[in-house]
Amino acid sequence: MSQDQSTRRGRPGYDQQGILAVAVAAFNEYGYDATSIGVLAERLNLSKSAIYHHFGSKDEILELALDAALSALEGVVDEMAGSTTDADAERPAADRLEQVLRGAVHVLVDRLPAVTLLLRVRGNTEVERRALTRRRAFDRRITALVAEAQAEGSLRGDIDASVAARLVFGMINSIVEWYRPGGREGADRLADDVVAIALDGLRRH
Its domain, for residue 30, covers 1-56
Q: Is 52 in the same domain as 83?
A: no
Q: Is 69 in the same domain as 109?
A: yes
Q: Alpha-carbon distance 82 to 146, whole Å?
A: 17
Amino acid at 12: P
The pTM of the full predicted model, rounded to 2 decimals, is: 0.85
Taking the mean position of all CA atoms in its chain, how far away is CA 184?
Answer: 22
CA angle 66, 71, 77 (to 5 degrees): 135
Q: Alpha-carbon distance 189 to 196, whole Å?
A: 11
Q: In the chain, how many domains are there?
A: 2
Q: Is 69 in the same domain as 42?
A: no
Question: What crossing angle do the helices spanning 16-30 and 112-119 adopt, rounded to 10°?
Answer: 50
pLDDT by residue, tens only, the chain of 205 residues = 333 444 334 444 578 999 999 999 999 999 999 999 999 999 999 999 999 999 999 999 999 999 999 999 999 999 887 655 555 557 889 999 999 999 999 999 999 999 999 999 999 999 999 999 999 999 999 999 999 999 999 999 999 999 999 999 999 999 999 998 887 888 999 999 999 998 887 776 5
Amino acid at 113: P
Given a contact cutoff of 8 angstroms between Cβ atoms, the answer to whether 117 and 70 are in contact is no
Q: Is 87 in the same domain as 151?
A: yes
Please give the backbone phi and psi of residue 31, each rounded to the nearest 5 degrees, phi first: 95, 145
Instruction: Look at residues 38, 56, 74 and tell me which one is the last residue of a structural domain.
Output: 56
Q: Is 43 in the same domain as 108?
A: no
Q: Is 192 in the same domain as 96?
A: yes
For residue 203, list its beta bridge partners: 155
Q: Is 50 in the same domain as 72?
A: no
Q: Which CATH number goes with the domain that contains 41?
A: 1.10.10.60
Q: Is 161 in the same domain as 91?
A: yes
Given a contact cutoff of 8 angstroms between Cβ atoms, the answer to whether 176 and 114 are in contact is no
Q: Is 78 in the same domain as 29?
A: no
Sign of CA dihedral 113, 119, 122, 128: positive
